[in-house]
């Protein structure tokens, strides 16, 4: 299976291979994003405190995604390059080790968080009137999050083996079940937050169950993996760890900055972030079709195919997001009003959404630059690109702009960060891909 996958990616139309692999990834990421967006929609209908609870829980959800994406992308990139080199046992070792670590880390985090709910809420930036609603929601989130974490790892492993369809269907089925249960339990049976929580757990459980039937090729005997396998896996996954980890930190700082302007600002920021996360999910899903192509072709020394595939993806994403931004700008308010949130929260969230719609193309390009450098094993450059938008660019802006320009400064923080991060990514990735007439070697980090 693995070698047949490698042969397919090394021949034929690179663009066709990327589209074939990206469609299931795109479906999976959109289904996952729609699930979390539906949670926010249901919560917003329960009042302003529940809307704020969704904003408070988002950084915690991002933390679990950090574990899953880090281990999954690290193991997946290692597997793709090993498949491209013709290695047979290394992919199985990486798969087994990543699943074991994801299980241990996610369960440990949930247990500790359930035992210390008060400090957790304060750490997440909850306001004085938020904890009662947020605590109920976060308890369900903590129970479902380890399932999500394992699903993210499994999906990366299946994608690295060229089995994208298996996980695309799993995420779609999970999202459909979650939506049906939320409509039944939260709306028809009037169970409120409890119904939303039960639906969330069921959604993640079904997704994980279906992914597990995809039978990723790893055996328990391979868990004796040498430390070298773990080091290589973490090297490939380090940029994701930094990006997602700093996303959690910046999410907390964003909540703290927003709550200082009132509960409406916190709720509105949460709505905008959730809506935009769907766009990010789509870009990531499309880019995930490029990652196996990049890894296998780079492992086989075919950097010309890496270049062709990357610029195809970059053009597609930038043009699509320019169009989406133009459509989103005039309809930001009516779109967020669909959530049924208080008018003040919708008005603030619409300002954020309009500011972000202007620079969506920059956000998408940064994601692709990060995927390129990460898949090639360029650890330092990938880490710098990955940590710019949600880290050392955004965090100082969150600490500075709201103090200088009030609510307007808070609204503009993420947009300014996107532009600066885009310029930095261009500088860091210049010269990585050789021109058609030249042969280039992948940097080792």
158-183 b/e (C-beta count within 10 Å ≥ 16 → b): bbbbbbbbbbbbbbbbbbebbbebbe
pLDDT digits (tens, 9 = 90+) for 364-388: 999 999 889 888 878 788 888 888 8
**Which tens digit of pLDDT belongs to each residue from 220-259?**
444 455 567 777 777 777 777 777 777 777 877 887 888 7
Token pair listed for 183: 């409509």
List the structure tokens of 437: 């007439």
Q: Summarize pLDDT for 25-64 with one digit per residue, the tens.
A: 788 778 877 777 777 777 777 766 666 666 677 778 888 8
Q: Using 50, 70 and 90 to split pLDDT, how confident is the model at 362?
A: very high
What are the C-alpha distances in Å from 214 to residues 177, 345, 431? Answer: 19, 42, 39
| 123 neighbors 107 (Cβ within 8 angstroms) | no
Q: For 99-116, what is the mean pLDDT? A: 89
Please tell me the pTM assigned to this model.
Answer: 0.72
Instruction: Give 254-299 pLDDT, tens digit per residue.
Output: 878 887 888 788 778 878 887 888 888 889 888 888 887 887 888 7
- Confidence at residue 203, expressed as pLDDT on a 0 to 100 scale: 92
Supply the DSSP symbol for 130.
S
pLDDT at position 12 over 60: yes
Residue 129 pLDDT class (50, 70, 90 cuts): low
For residue 125, pLDDT beyond 50: yes
CB 281 within 8 A of CB 273: no
């Amino acid at each position: 299976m693995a070698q047949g996958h490698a042969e397919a990616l090394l021949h034929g139309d690179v663009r066709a291979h990327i589209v074939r692999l990206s469609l299931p990834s795109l479906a999976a990421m959109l289904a996952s994003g729609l699930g979390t967006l539906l949670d926010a929609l249901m919560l917003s209908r329960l009042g302003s405190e529940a809307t704020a609870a969704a904003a408070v829980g988002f950084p915690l959800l991002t933390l679990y995604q950090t574990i899953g994406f880090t281990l999954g992308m690290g193991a997946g990139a290692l597997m793709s390059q090993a498949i491209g080199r013709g290695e047979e046992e290394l992919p199985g070792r990486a798969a087994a080790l990543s699943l074991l670590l994801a299980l241990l880390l996610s369960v440990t985090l949930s247990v500790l968080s359930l035992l210390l709910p008060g400090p957790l809420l304060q750490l997440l930036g909850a306001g004085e009137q938020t904890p009662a609603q947020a605590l109920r929601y976060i308890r369900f989130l903590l129970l479902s999050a380890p399932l999500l974490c394992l699903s993210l790892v499994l999906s990366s492993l299946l994608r690295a083996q060229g089995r994208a369809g298996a996980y695309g269907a799993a995420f779609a089925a999970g999202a459909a079940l979650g939506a049906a249960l939320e409509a039944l339990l939260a709306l028809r049976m009037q169970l409120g937050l409890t119904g939303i929580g039960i639906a969330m757990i069921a959604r993640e459980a079904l997704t994980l169950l279906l992914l597990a039937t995809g039978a990723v090729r790893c055996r328990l005997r391979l868990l004796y993996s040498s430390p070298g396998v773990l080091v290589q896996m973490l090297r490939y996954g380090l940029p994701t760890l930094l990006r997602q980890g700093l996303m959690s930190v910046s999410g907390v700082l964003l909540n703290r900055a927003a709550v200082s302007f009132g509960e409406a600002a916190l709720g509105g920021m949460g709505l905008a972030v959730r809506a935009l996360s769907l766009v990010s999910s789509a870009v990531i899903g499309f880019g995930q079709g490029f990652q196996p192509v990049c890894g296998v072709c780079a492992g086989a020394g075919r950097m010309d195919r890496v270049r062709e595939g990357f610029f195809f993806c970059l053009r597609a994403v930038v043009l699509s997001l320019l169009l989406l931004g133009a459509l989103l700008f005039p309809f930001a308010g009516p779109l967020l009003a669909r959530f049924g949130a208080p008018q003040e929260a919708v008005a603030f969230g619409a300002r954020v959404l309009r500011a972000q719609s202007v620079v969506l193309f920059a956000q998408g390009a940064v994601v692709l630059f990060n995927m390129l450098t990460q898949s090639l094993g360029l650890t330092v450059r990938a880490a710098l690109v990955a940590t710019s938008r949600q880290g050392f660019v955004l965090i100082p802006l969150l600490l500075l702009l709201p103090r200088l320009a009030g609510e307007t400064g808070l609204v503009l923080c993420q947009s300014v960060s996107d532009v600066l991060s885009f310029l930095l990514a261009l500088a860091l990735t210049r010269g990585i891909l050789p021109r058609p007439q030249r042969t280039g070697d992948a940097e080792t980090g």
